[in-house]
Amino acid sequence: MRLRLTALLLPLCACGNGALPPPAILSIDPAEMVACEGATVIVGVDAVLPTRFDYSQSAASANPDIALRIGDVPVGSGKYVPGGLLTAAVPPVFSPGNYDVGLRLSDGRPEAILPAAFTVRPNPYPDRYLLDFVPDQTQAQPFDITIRAQGTNAPVYKCTVALSSDRGSISPRASGNFQQGVRTERVTIDRSFPAVVITVRDDGGRVGSSNSFRVGP
């Protein structure tokens, strides 16, 4: 009984802790991505939401708004998820490097930061690109070109390349992501020319060109 009383009184007398605990980031998984690929990560947080107990109304509320960031880029839905495992899509906008992960609640408590917790790895560029044979085409009519990465990293290359033509204008100007080193892209040349060559170029300056083909009116 005496111990119980002491146990009761001691915490009561430990006054002064009127603030809620600051949030904490426990984990991020996966903790890295390839720069050009983007990723979907799960961030584990230990956070007490801004909670309100109104005893007069016998009611309780909690504000689920949160701000999750990687580097300076906001990620996630902006809402807390019961259990504290937040899912966030990371866009492929990062340069290679290590980035802080931050979490801020809506009531102004200090931001939780997990320093250098997320790594962006460089893109695994191939040595060069080859384009399959392109037959003669008609102006403004879409046609497919197939681009093949060549070299050591070719099978794992998933990035994009820029598209250009030496005559007329080609659209789109960039390809979609490669799949296992191959990308088939539907393109259009706007005007007719007797000989046109399409060139692809990645961020690292590696290039590849098609054969010369005719674009008829």
List contacts with other proteins (CB under 8 A). Answer: 8-9, 11-21, 46-62, 64, 80, 82-84, 107
Closer residue to other proteins, CB minimum distance, 18 or 217 = 18
Q: How far is the CB of 68 from other proteins (least distance, A)?
A: 16
What CA–CA distance (Å, rounded) separates 202 from 211?
19
Judged by CB, which is closer to other proteins: 83, or 135?
A: 83
CB of 6 to other proteins, least distance (A): 12
Nearest to 42 by CA among 72, 68, 65: 68
What's the min distance (Å) between Cβ of 104 and other proteins? Answer: 16
State how far the alpha carbon of 169 is from the alpha carbons of 78, 165, 202, in Å: 41, 6, 19
- Compare residues 82 and 205 and give the one whose CB is closer to other proteins: 82
Sheet with 198-201, side-by-side order of all strands: 162-165, 198-201, 207-209
- Three-state secondary structure call for residue 126: coil
* Residue 51: CB minimum distance to other proteins, A: 5
Instruction: Give the span between the Cα atoms of 190 and 79, in whole angstroms.
Output: 46
Which candidate, 104, 107, 114, places its Cα nearest to that of 41?
A: 114
When the beta carbons of 110 and 217 are compared against other proteins, the nearer one is 110
Least distance (Å) from other proteins to the CB of residue 16?
Answer: 6
Question: Considering beta carbons, is residue 47 or 147 the nearer one to other proteins?
Answer: 47
Name which of 51 and 152 has its Cβ closer to other proteins. 51
Q: 180 φ, ψ to 5°?
A: 50, 45
3 state SS of 204: coil
Q: Minimal distance in Å, beta carbon 140 to other proteins?
A: 52
The Cα–Cα gap between 49 and 45 comes to: 11
